[in-house]
C-alpha cells in the first residue's frame, strides 16, 4: 500500500474531467438498470458493470490526493469494508450452494427419486438452504440499517463535495447490486415457494410464467415436491441442478472479480491517508 505505487496530482479532478465523466456514465447506466430483476444473467451483467465502475473509481482516486479529500477518507474506508464484508457473505453463500448442488447431483446419478436415502439427502439439502436463507436475511437486514445511516458532513469546497458525493453514490449502487444477488440466492418465502411448486406441477398451464422463476427457485421447488409429494422426474431435477451449478459458478467468478476491484479501491483510499 506504499505511496510509490502511483503518481498523482495535487488537486481533485473537476466535474468535467474525463474520468469523472466516465464514473458518471457508469453510475447512470447502473441506476437505470432494473434492480428488481431476479435472473442470474441480469445480476451477472450488473456485477460486470460494477467492475467497470470501480475500475474508473480507482483511476479517479489516483488523481485525488488533495488534503480536502482526506477528511472524508475514513468514512469511505468504512464503506469499502462493509462492501467487502457483504461480498464475502454472498461468496460464501454461493460456494455453499455449489458444493451442496454437486453433492445432490452425485446422489441423483446413483439413486432413484423414490429412494428413501435420496429423500433424506434432499431433506438435508433443503434444511441447509433454510439456514443459509436465515443468514442472508440477517445480512440484508443489517444492510438496510447501514443504508439508513446518515453520512457525516462534507467540505464546502465545491469539487471536494462533488467527488465525495459521487463516491457515496458508487457505494450505494454497489450495495444495491449485492443486495439483489443475496435476494436471488435466498429465493422466495414459504408462501411464494408453495405457489412455485404448484406452477411446476402444472407445466402446460404456466409455461409462459416460468420465465419469471429463477434457477434457485426451480431447484428448491422441485426438491420440495420430492419430499412433499414423493414424485419428481429424475431427468428434470438433474437438468435443473446442472443449470443451477453453472449459474452459481458464473456468479461466483464475477463476484470474485468485483471483490478484487473493491480491494484495489480500498488500497487507493489507504494511499490517500498515507500521503
**3-state SS, residue 232:** coil
Least confident of 50-64, 133-147, 170-184: 133-147
Mean pLDDT of all residues belonging to the chain? 78
CA–CA gap between residue 22 and residue 59 (Å, rounded) = 10
pTM of the model: 0.79
Least confident of 21-30, 131-140, 179-188, 203-212: 203-212
Q: How many residues does the chain have?
A: 275
Does residue 160 have a pLDDT over 80?
no
Domain ranges of the chain: 12-147+166-273
pLDDT value for 151 = 52
pLDDT value for 108 = 84
Model pLDDT for residues 182-231, shown as the tens digit of each residue = 989 987 654 444 454 455 545 444 443 445 688 898 899 888 888 876 66
Mean pLDDT of 33-54: 84
Q: Which three cell numbers stand for residue 12?
A: 481533485
Neighbours of 89 (CB within 10 A): 20
**3-state SS, residue 155:** coil
Amino acid at each position: 500500500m506504499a505511496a510509490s505505487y502511483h503518481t498523482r496530482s495535487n488537486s481533485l479532478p473537476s466535474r468535467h474531467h474525463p474520468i469523472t465523466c466516465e464514473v458518471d456514465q457508469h453510475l447512470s447506466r447502473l441506476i437505470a438498470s432494473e434492480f428488481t430483476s431476479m435472473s442470474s444473467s441480469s445480476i451477472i451483467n450488473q456485477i460486470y458493470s460494477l467492475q467497470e465502475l470501480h475500475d474508473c473509481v480507482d483511476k479517479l482516486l489516483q488523481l485525488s490526493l488533495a488534503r480536502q479529500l482526506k477528511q472524508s477518507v475514513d468514512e469511505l474506508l468504512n464503506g469499502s469494508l462493509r462492501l467487502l464484508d457483504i461480498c464475502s457473505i454472498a461468496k460464501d453463500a454461493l460456494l455453499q450452494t455449489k458444493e451442496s448442488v454437486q453433492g445432490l447431483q452425485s446422489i441423483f446419478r446413483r439413486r432413484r427419486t423414490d429412494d428413501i436415502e435420496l429423500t433424506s439427502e434432499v431433506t438435508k439439502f433443503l434444511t441447509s438452504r433454510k439456514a443459509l436463507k436465515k443468514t442472508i436475511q440477517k445480512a440484508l437486514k443489517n444492510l438496510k440499517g447501514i443504508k439508513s445511516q446518515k453520512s457525516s458532513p462534507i467540505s464546502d469546497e465545491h469539487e471536494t463535495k462533488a467527488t465525495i458525493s459521487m463516491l457515496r453514490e458508487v457505494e450505494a449502487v454497489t450495495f444495491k447490486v449485492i443486495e439483489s444477488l443475496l435476494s436471488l440466492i435466498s429465493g422466495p418465502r414459504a408462501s411464494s415457494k408453495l405457489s412455485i411448486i404448484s406452477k411446476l406441477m402444472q407445466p402446460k398451464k404456466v409455461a409462459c410464467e416460468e420465465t419469471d422463476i429463477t434457477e434457485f427457485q426451480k431447484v428448491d421447488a422441485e426438491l420440495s415436491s420430492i419430499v412433499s409429494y414423493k414424485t419428481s422426474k429424475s431427468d428434470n431435477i438433474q437438468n435443473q441442478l446442472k443449470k443451477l451449478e453453472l449459474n452459481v459458478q458464473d456468479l461466483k467468478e464475477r463476484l470474485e472479480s468485483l471483490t478484487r476491484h473493491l480491494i484495489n479501491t480500498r488500497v487507493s483510499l489507504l494511499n490517500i491517508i498515507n500521503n
